Structure 1
Amino acid sequence: MRGMDAVFERLESITKEMLKDCETVACETAASMERYAKGHRVWTDRTGDARKGLRGIASRSSQAISAGIYQDMYGKTGKGYGYYLENGERKLAGGVTFGEKYGILKPTRNAHAGMFFDGIEKACGQALKRQ
């Protein structure tokens, strides 16, 4: 049984290292998403509040590691600026809608998907090679 204990200890060590490296990828991706969203916004700043409220965030739960971008004017699920940036549309009086003209969150997520998933794959591969 001593051999199996050593195997499981080694697997636990590799898992911890992979998770740490994947969290680093998520943090780097979230920071890049925030910079990208602020730099590539398609609206004209009036007060700067919408731009300042763009936040990149990395998180880890028992099931997932993620990186995301959201608008923090009224919280993560607020209806203020965040709603229009997230959905990229706004209904005006009379039912007039303008499409994704001002949307930045979805394009930011799309632009960074490859960075995130490639980074996770590379981090896991490197952790295995170090073992």
Structure 2
Amino acid sequence: MKSGAQRRAEILHRRGVRRTAERSDAVKDQALRAAKERAALLKNQVVVNVDKLRPTNSFGTPDFVARGFYADRPFNCKTCASPQVWTATQQRWWYEIAQGDVWTVAVLCRPCRRRERERRNDAREVHLAGLAKKASKR
């Protein structure tokens, strides 16, 4: 015949074994879920590397960080109003490589961006030529 202390020890041991098995099952389920999520990433989705993002002092989290991947994002160009798509790879370049602010999004299509860049450069050249002409008169 076993004492109450021995019986309690056996019960606690069995509970411990059961908890360990449940934990390992939970860990396996979590790993399986993560693998399924990774496999579910479509070819137009790119995984976010949070360590490479520029630091931000915001209390919020951008949707792509919460999601864990960049997804193609449709938008209309601000200048010509044509429908465009900001691809996941372009977003990754902007946020992780170019260190753009995580709260910014694309608003201009490529041709309009190129046109705006050329306009700015031309205006800068005109301005610098005017400064040079003014300095030469002195």
Per the normalisation by structure 2, the TM-score is 0.34
Query: Which of the pair has more CA radius of gyration?
Result: 2
Higher relative contact order (CA 8 A, sep 6+): 1
